[in-house]
Amino acid sequence: MKKIIAVAVATAFAIPAYAADVTVSGDVEYFYKSTDAGASFDSGDQDVVVTGSEELANGWSVTASLEMDGNEDGLVSDSKLTIDTGMVTIEVGDANDSAARMVDEKSDKSEQGGNGGEGALATDALHTLSLSMSPIENLMIAYSKSTSNDDADGTTVDINSYAIQYTMMGVTLAYGTTEVEGQDEDVATLSAAYAAGPVSIGYDATSNEGNVEGDDSTNIGIAYKYGPGNIFIETGEQKDFSAGTKTETTAMGVSYAIGSMNTYALQNKVKTSATAEDDQTIIGVEYKF
C-alpha cells in the first residue's frame, strides 16, 4: 500500500510537467580577432535557453524561459515570464528588454564589430516589467518599468521606457525613449528598416547616449542574402560631446552557413578623433541548436 501511495504522489507531481511544451535551444560562438595592438581568441554568445509554454483554459498563452549565459567568469542565469492575452503581451523578468530596446538595433547587420544601434543608459536594468499591444494592424506600442542599482551609491533607481513602431509596405519606423531616475537627459532612438527580396537596410539615430546631453550616435547597416549567408556592411559614428571627440566604426564582411553552423569573416575599422585608425580582422564560428 505504501508503494502504491508513493507512486500516486509522484505521478501527481509529474503530470503538470507534461502540460507545457518544453524546448531547449542555445548557441556557442568563438572568434579570433587580429588588431593593430595584437591578437586575441575570445568567445561570443554562450547561451542555453530552456523554454516552457502552455495555452491556458481561458485562451491566454504563458511562456517561461530560463537563460543560462556562459562567459570566462562563470555562468549567469536570467529568466522571464511572458503572458499573451491576445490584446496585451506582458513580460516580466531580467532576460527581457525595455520598451525602447524592443524596437531599436535595426542597423545591427555585422556579426561582430560595428556599433549595433543600441542606446546605452547611465545604469542598466536588473528587472523589467513590460506591456505591449497592437491596437491596429502593423502598429505596436509598448511601455516598461525597470529597477536597477545605481553603481554610484548602491541605491535603487527606476527606469521608464516608451516605444512605438509601425510597419507598412516593407518599411518599419520606430521611436523609443528611456528615462532613468536621477538623470536630467532621456535616451531617445529613432530607427528605420526596409526589406525587399534579399536586401535589408537598417538605420538608428540615438541622442543622449548614457543619459549624457550631446553624446549622440548614428548607425546604418545593409545586408544582402546570397543563399547560404550574408554580405554585410555597417557604419556609424559616436560623439563624446564633453571630450569633443568622435569615434567612427565601419564593419564589412561575409557569412556562410552550413545547416545550423554559421561562419563569418569581416574587417572592422575603428577611428577616434586624434588617434590612429585601428584595423581589426575578425573570423568566427557559431553553432545554434
Query: Mean pLDDT across the chain, nearest whole number?
Result: 89
Distance of CA 262 to the CA centre of its chain: 19
Specify which of 45-54, 62-71, 121-130, 239-248 reaches the highest per-range mean pLDDT.
45-54
Q: Residue 74: what pLDDT?
A: 66
Instruction: Please report, rounded to a whole number, the percentage of residues in the chain having pLDDT higher than 90.
Output: 70
Q: State the pLDDT confidence band at 85, using cuts at 50, 70 and 90.
A: very high
pTM of the model: 0.85
More confident: 45 or 170: 170
Residues in the chain: 289
Domain edges within the chain: 26-288
Instruction: Please report, rounded to a whole number, the percentage of residues in the chain having pLDDT higher than 70.
Output: 90
Q: Residue 153: what pLDDT?
A: 66
> In sequence order, what are the beta bridge partners of 100?
none
Radius of gyration, alpha carbons of the chain: 22
- On whether the CB atoms of residues 65 and 49 are closer than 8 A, the answer is yes
Q: What is the pLDDT of residues 260-270, one digit of tens each?
A: 999 999 999 99
More confident: 16 or 127: 127
Q: What is the pLDDT of residues 193-240, one digit of tens each?
A: 999 999 999 999 999 999 999 999 999 999 999 999 999 999 999 998
Q: Residue 5: what pLDDT?
A: 36
More confident: 68 or 13: 68
User: DSSP labels for the chain?
Assistant: -HHHHHHHHHHHHHGGGGGSEEEEEEEEEEEEEEETTEEEEEEEEEEEEEEEEEE-TTS-EEEEEEEEEEETTEEEEEEEEEEE-SSEEEEEESSSPPTGGGT--TT--SSSSS-TTPPP-SS--SEEEEEEE-SSTTEEEEEEEEEEE-TTT--EEEEEEEEEEEEETTEEEEEEEEEETT-SS-EEEEEEEEEETTEEEEEEEEESGGG-TT--EEEEEEEEE-SSSEEEEEEEEEEETTTTEEEEEEEEEEEEEETTEEEEEEEEEEEETTS--EEEEEEEEEEE-
Give the CATH superfamily of 26-288: Porin (2.40.160.10)
Q: Residue 9: what pLDDT?
A: 36
Q: Residue 15: what pLDDT?
A: 46
Residue 256 above 70 pLDDT? yes
